[in-house]
Amino acid sequence: MNKVLVIGALGQLGSELTLALRELYGKENVIASDLKQPEGKIAEGPFELLNAMDRGRLYEIAEKHGITQVYHLAAILSAKGESDPKLAWQLNMESLIHVLDLAKDKKLDKVYWPSSIAVFGPSTPRENTPQTTVMDPNTVYGISKLAGERWCEYYHQKYGVDVRSLRYPGLIGYKAKPGGGTTDYAVDIFYKALEEGKYECFLSKDTYLPMMYMDDAVKATIDLMESDSDKIKVRSSYNVSAISFSPAEIADQIKSQIADFEITYNPDFRQKIADSWPDSIDDSQARSDWGWKPSFDLKKMSEDILKGLSELLKK
């Protein structure tokens, strides 16, 4: 019997991944957790209040529910992390160590922890960034994710912890508001298009970044975790990719359905962060090891978001 704990279940990724896991394992077998009480569909299943840095509470919840798998999604993201670097480091690192220790001590079946393209930096090849390459992140978020990758591989090699990870590109969804990342413009632009008919972008029009629709991110995560352990050759974190585009290109997709939509550009401190990240990602190892393949391109994603968000905003 799988008993799954999702830490950070109310975040942009967690809110959708939790529901997908409940469909897979049964609502009663997926325990959501976060800092505040849930609303909506997440509240329809088991839930526990949890500060990810509270080691004692984590162990208590694991014992109470007989947890066999943990999806550890809680983190302070790139843009928000720069406003309080020490807190971002503390939360991102301490919480991961607690989860890895739990997996080691309680002999959990599996652990999932997300990394990010933020592990790359100014010296990393920008086009088709390889799985193994120069990594010199210049944000505290990226530094913490790179350190986290090394801890994951260490716990696997040293203690046999079955930990698995993906280096997410920018994630785009509409069912939960974004959480302070540099790629958040690609979510916010759809809200502003429908609510105001215009958007001021904090990145320049020709800033290319790797992106992924949330449906693909959830699919990639579950596909990785459901794969046989002998197929998982990378224990730091896998490159995954779907689409790369610029703010101007996503604006054109919106204009094709909302003719009078207007976009302006006013780059801020996040531009420097984006400029240190790749334009595109080589995820051939994930494709060959466990069969990763995205389902959404820019056009299909944009159409799906505008349709779904229009219905959501009417409620």
The set of catalytic residues is 141
Q: In what order do the strands lie in the sheet with 243-245?
A: 170-172, 209-213, 243-245
Phi-psi group of 4: left, alpha or beta (phi > 0 → left; psi -120 to 50 → alpha; rest → beta): beta
Q: Residues near 256 by Cβ (< 8 Å), separated by ≥ 6?
A: none
The CA distances from residue 209 to 123, 205, 249, in Å, are 16, 11, 11
- Three-state SS at 306: helix
Nearest to 282 by CA among 124, 139, 146: 124
Q: One-letter amino acid identity for 202?
A: F
Structure tokens at 167: 């280096």
Is residue 211 within 8 Å of residue 242, measured between CB atoms?
yes
